[in-house]
Structure 1
């Protein structure tokens, strides 16, 4: 829409009934059209946005994956929407200044939907992801000027490839039962719903890829027993020999298997099928950063001697990642989860790490703060919700409780920005000051960026 506005083209934003998403109507189908066009922007989903000058003098905006600003590309338009069209990437005619195709490590790049940015130097990826956060807060956090601070630099991952400790390749079985000579096992093709055959994934760890080869052979040998497609699970687990201190990596393929993860000196265990961050290399940086934010002085006055909150409530605590890694910053930690299984694992993880000041309670989404008795003005709270963010029921409970500090960890900066607007625009949340917002790159080579926002309730 920004590109359309810059070209003087009409823009009419239409939103869904709840106001949380834009509505873009699909136009009548047309024949495929090949074109050459220049890319002028990079979207938050990692796709290039190009301007196509048509022979009749009109201008069309086209979304082209695997392209970056400055590229002149050849593309095939396959779908026309109300304000732009979607195209398949075909080739680069001339590359933009930032493009470096020698960085690409995957032969399926430009086909597989998993990665978008392999042709972009890593420092440029981090700059782009900061810009994604800037734009998210510009468009999804409707608050007064000056309320949102300058977005910090995005913290990079120590590993740019070979970092993913979890992969979920999949395959389909035709409904008519006629199996192909070789069943594709891999990931979805960009812009399509079918699976392309992929032997290995460069962003997966070496252990994951080694096990993936074995799983591919197993599926091929038993493909006749499947009546429908399936998704494979590959999750890395690590053990450290207490005597030799040597590490041994295994890969879990059953969702009920128990995974062992080490974050700094802490050992965490959880079921392989449960949610847990899948880039171990960046977890120390993230947990240490969250820890420092919990310990921030309460006042913006640097000479203030008012101590940081002494209690920590970890909402959406899962198996206890932040509760356990941040326990030494406070006197008491209360982890809250609506999953009994997660509460059980979090409790045993705290015991295994000899952490006596953390306990975990089973919460109900409708009354999640019912079991929290710590004084709000002496309490920090960590929020780490799923991609959909926090719902209004939770946010209203949060605003009734008013913790002194909020550290909001998000895997979807757009819903995080929306939620901060909800907090900061409500009369109960008017005294919250946003200390900082910055991104962490859990998924190099992809468009994804996680964001951590810190808020403090002023006196």
Structure 2
């Protein structure tokens, strides 16, 4: 490879990679250029040389893509939150089908060349869609700033008007920063200082209710901040404290305490309401979550006789979409508060055919199966790491006749399909844009057990 760091080269961009970067070839060497678009001729500077590829920064666009647009965010080039705001939105949707194809081509699950990949379902108005904000907090020369880290760094970029964040959550975050400064509360510093590390703010779209978590590295008295916040924002229903003393990239510590207000807020999806405790997982784009759950229900093709297993159930939201239409729902999650929410949500809806347990899917499902339980339909909505190997082994040993895989990571989805296609046939993959202007997409995969496999007894 005849390339060196700081070398400047011309490059024609052939396609976009899975992280939204432009990809070209220089003398048969793969070059990744963030910010470049397919079809562009660019001039770039090498920033890193690896064994089989190199990375470069964009210096100049000699031939611009006709789909390039001016990003609507003032900190887009600095903040690591979005990767595709410079690409026209309809072309972002096409790209999100392509990254599914790229992942499938890399891992090559059986029959992948013939999978039906349906056009990405996008948003009519793809801005201010994020109902959950999770900003880092730092102090600079006595001024408190909040925002996101620049891509690949721990350098904080102050964000006061995020284009994709719900406007009210952003406004509350700006107020929190001012109050932390006003009352001179200690702010966390990775080298020496204990204090406020991160603030999470979530808004329920259906009710407008707000929930806050202060993540701190030592116990603090937040009384004055809380009093000012609840006076100014009647929408706030919960303020909680989470203590994380570890020097780690993980946001949360183990214990969360409600300091003020209710234990939960109320949200709604499809035709039912449910409760969310501060730590419980819920999709960050409520508008597209309606579409996501509709597609999951559609893919499972309910007959009414199903015993549905809802792995990684969270507060039960996906499973509850099926509950009135099936014989039974069973779910599990590692967060106790989420399972408590799931049980409460099922009780509020008057459901008697649900069962939820705290624990890992890969531990609980084998236990249930050992005790004689058999699911006839399976929904999995795993974290970005995909399915655990023990859970995969259980699914392959006792495969329900039909399965829906909801994925937020195309790479781990394609990896898992290499195992699942031993017993399942992929009927289609439906891409849904849960994260406009980013390189991420959500996918709903419809799987059916192959007919030539022995039926389990």
Return the TM-score normalized by structure 2.
0.79
Query: How far apart are the structure 2 equivalents of 1:275 and 1:352?
Result: 19
**Counting strand residues as a fraction of each chain, which structure ranks higher?**
2
Distance 1:141 1:61, change over 3 A: closer
Show the counterpart of 2:272.
Answer: 266
Q: 2:164 aligned to 186, 191, 203, which one?
A: 203
Q: Deviations over 1:169-216 (max 9, x none)?
A: 11345xxxxx53645431122343311222221100111121121122
Q: Verify: 1:117 aligned to 2:114, yes or no.
A: no
Distance 1:234 1:375, change over 3 A: closer
- Structure 1 residue 271 displacement after superposition: 2.0
Distance 1:374 1:440, change over 3 A: farther
Show the counterpart of 1:295.
Answer: 301
| Structure 1 contact 208–251 (Cα < 8 Å) conserved | no
SS in 2 for 1:154: strand
Query: How far apart are the structure 2 equivalents of 1:91 and 1:167?
Result: 34
SS in 1 for 2:421: helix
Show the counterpart of 2:433.
Answer: 441
Structure 1 stretch displaced more, 59-68 or 275-284: 59-68
SS in 1 for 2:56: strand
Query: How far apart are the structure 2 equivalents of 1:314 and 1:195?
Result: 38
Q: Verify: 1:73 aligned to 2:42, yes or no.
A: yes
Show the counterpart of 2:31.
Answer: 62
Q: Deviations over 1:355-382 (max 9, x none)?
A: 3332323455334242357874x71110
Query: How far apart are the structure 2 equivalents of 1:69 and 1:448?
Result: 18
| Structure 1 contact 238–249 (Cα < 8 Å) conserved | no
| Structure 1 contact 309–404 (Cα < 8 Å) conserved | no
Q: 1:325 aligned to 321, 345, 348, which one?
A: 321
| Structure 1 contact 234–252 (Cα < 8 Å) conserved | no
Show the counterpart of 1:45.
Answer: 19
Query: How far apart are the structure 2 equivalents of 1:319 and 1:261?
Result: 11
Distance 1:421 1:61, change over 3 A: closer
Show the counterpart of 2:107.
Answer: 140
Q: 1:388 aligned to 385, 389, 400, which one?
A: 385
Query: How far apart are the structure 1 equivalents of 2:69 and 2:178?
Result: 35
Q: 1:88 aligned to 47, 54, 57, which one?
A: 57
Show the counterpart of 1:108.
Answer: 75
Structure 1 stretch displaced more, 185-194 or 133-142: 185-194
Q: 2:96 aligned to 112, 129, 153, which one?
A: 129
Structure 1 stretch displaced more, 186-195 or 275-284: 186-195
Show the counterpart of 1:402.
Answer: 399
| Structure 2 contact 304–327 (Cα < 8 Å) conserved | no
Query: How far apart are the structure 2 equivalents of 1:65 and 1:32?
Result: 16
- Structure 1 residue 71 displacement after superposition: 2.3
| Structure 2 contact 137–188 (Cα < 8 Å) conserved | no
- Structure 1 residue 236 displacement after superposition: 1.1
Q: Deviations over 1:66-94 (max 9, x none)?
A: 22112233444322222222233345444
Query: How far apart are the structure 2 equivalents of 1:42 and 1:214?
Result: 38
Q: 1:452 aligned to 406, 427, 444, which one?
A: 444
- Structure 1 residue 251 displacement after superposition: 7.8
| Structure 2 contact 281–338 (Cα < 8 Å) conserved | no
Structure 1 stretch displaced more, 87-96 or 312-321: 87-96
Return the TM-score normalized by structure 1.
0.79
